Structure 1
Amino acid sequence: MDTELWGKLPEDILPHILSRLPWWSMMKCRVVSKQWQSLLSDPIFLKIAVSSPGALDPPCCVLSNHKFYYVIINPDTQRCHAIPRDNMFPLQHHPEANRFQLHGTAGGLFFMQVAFQCRDRYLFNPLNGTQRLLPAVPPSPLLVLDSPWTKLHQPKTWMMVDDSGHLRLICLQVRETPVGNPELVLWTVHTYDFVENGWRLHSTDLPGKRLEFCISATLLEGNVYLLVKTPVLFTGTGLTHRLFKAYARHMVEMSIKFTDGISALQIFQYQGALMLMAGTEEPRKPPFHVSIWKYDEILESWENVVSMPQDIVDTFYEEMSAEGGFYFDKEGDVCCFANRLDSEFIIGHFSVVGHLLICKRQMSLTDL
């Protein structure tokens, strides 16, 4: 479609068009009415987004421990692109421009918020410098000011997910119970739609007092899945991993039992299935272990899809920090990335052979 014609389209029509486009078109069109030319003229973005439309996975953006750079992974070529941090933010005149923190990444976008503040939440496209100020999260519809439920906390958890080609932001909000029942709090789950630029109430009045320790979340078939750390029952010491499925006003716990020392570290959706990465929770303490599991809805059990061979684990996973992760590309290969403890960013590209991951190559910032 001609650029001038895009600019003439009414704003209320654009969301309906964008909702039917694949992610690469959505990224190009999301700011079409304001900064279309700057978006199309960016050579780095064009290399990633237009080389194979509709077939590409979203570029993976991660925050590197390197003091000068952010990193974008191109999943089509498994190459990296380092972006200087000084050129990352277009908000030079923001009164707290140096206090933005990264809260999540997905689909080539950063979700950032002013540190220790409950306002000024932005989406950034680091490839072209454009940004969007998010609307405020709406309060729970059941919150009545003259009721005992008078204290509504600011959002505790933010998770960006790629929900079958549609980027969404998951927000957990908590409100306290009346005096006399301090052990119970109720949570509300909102999801933000990137195309419509608005929040949707997903679930409300979910009981649970430890959801603020949510470490991973994903959307699948309209349900929100939350992986959280909670204190061990009865002892109150140590933490255990628990998986919850949230919908309407219900929260159902799902079984995730592994051998001692192995924990669920990350959940995601892939080709319509709920997936889970399990591994050694403390990478510096051997023996190391990494495996990927798929949930069987019929049997209500987990199937081991692939495991990382011990020699690869010893050389790669040992160096992973909390900022590490992985994803499947369009060929079914696995790309792992991690920030090493010496602040070097590394990437491993693996092929799935049987139930094992065979390393194709590894890269680091020095290979860029």
Structure 2
Amino acid sequence: MPMADAEDRAWAIRDGVLGLLYHAEIAGQELYSISAAAVSRVSDWGWDPINELEIIAASEYLVRAGFVRSHMTQANGMLIMPTMTASGVQKASNRISVRPGVDSSPSVAVTSPAPPAAPTMNGEDVTTEISRMWSIRDAILAWLYQEDAALREPTHVDAERIQESVSWQAAPITDEELSRDCRYLIESGYMRATATMQGVMLRPLITARGSDFAARGVSVQPGPERFAATTGVTNTFNITNNGPSQMAIQSTDFTQTLTVEGQRQQIDAVATALDEYAAQSPEAAGRVGNLPDELREAGSDPVANRGKLQTLLSAVVGIGALANSAGGQQLMQLAAPLIQSLAS
């Protein structure tokens, strides 16, 4: 096998350890410890085999740097039940090396002579799991924003209430996912809650930072700003500057600032487009559900119902992305700019 510069090798192992923890988190797995074999497999390692002492040294660095935490270690220094911090998640999700000085680099963290083509966990593509994880985090935040706007103080984070409030379309959110993603939102400063030993989050509250993200309808996912995919369906819109306003990439040109009456008319246009899309097939009707009626009801007062409308319109964007058709494209082009108008 090829040799590597000692310094480059050390940083590659650190990136590999963080990558292993990230993939485990996405897959909902809890690692008892970090093995050299697991790091090699996930990072598609192509250099000389990693040994246990290198894993221990890499883990110690990641803890000191604030990317990983662990409350216990084995006698040999190996971490027990290691997990990622919010800083570690941010690095790993953007595929940026933990090596200082490369944050601005557009390249991925190279953990082998040739970077792996796609994230894998035990040979399975985890791209879908990554998208789902960020959608759940956006959905939790959107729900908390609605609860705050209604002056409600929930006793605990409830998956069923979250899914109902955001018109969730993917597989049901599990307790493990809820615990994992609430931890991330807490560590990143988007929400506050008290965690029980069983992972239940009590007395959740949205923070000022979380309210800002939810009000603008953007995702908490690090990287290029994009619309929150609160329905469990990935949306591909990134947000970019276009003069003094913001535009959704792939959308038609639009004026971001609308009068209240203009917003009502635009909301009605979205609801009508949904009705037309739902009439195409039983499958489409199932995806749409009661969204048109909910939009028209909330659209009667766009100012008072701004948060709810942003959540409903995010669901419309998700339906449009899932449709992968001209009708779906129309839904996205109508809904995406309206989200931005409501956030302004």
Structure 1 or 2: larger helix share?
2
TM above 0.5, yes or no, is no
Q: TM-score scaled by structure 2?
A: 0.30
Structure 1 or 2: larger strand share?
1
Q: TM-score scaled by structure 1?
A: 0.29
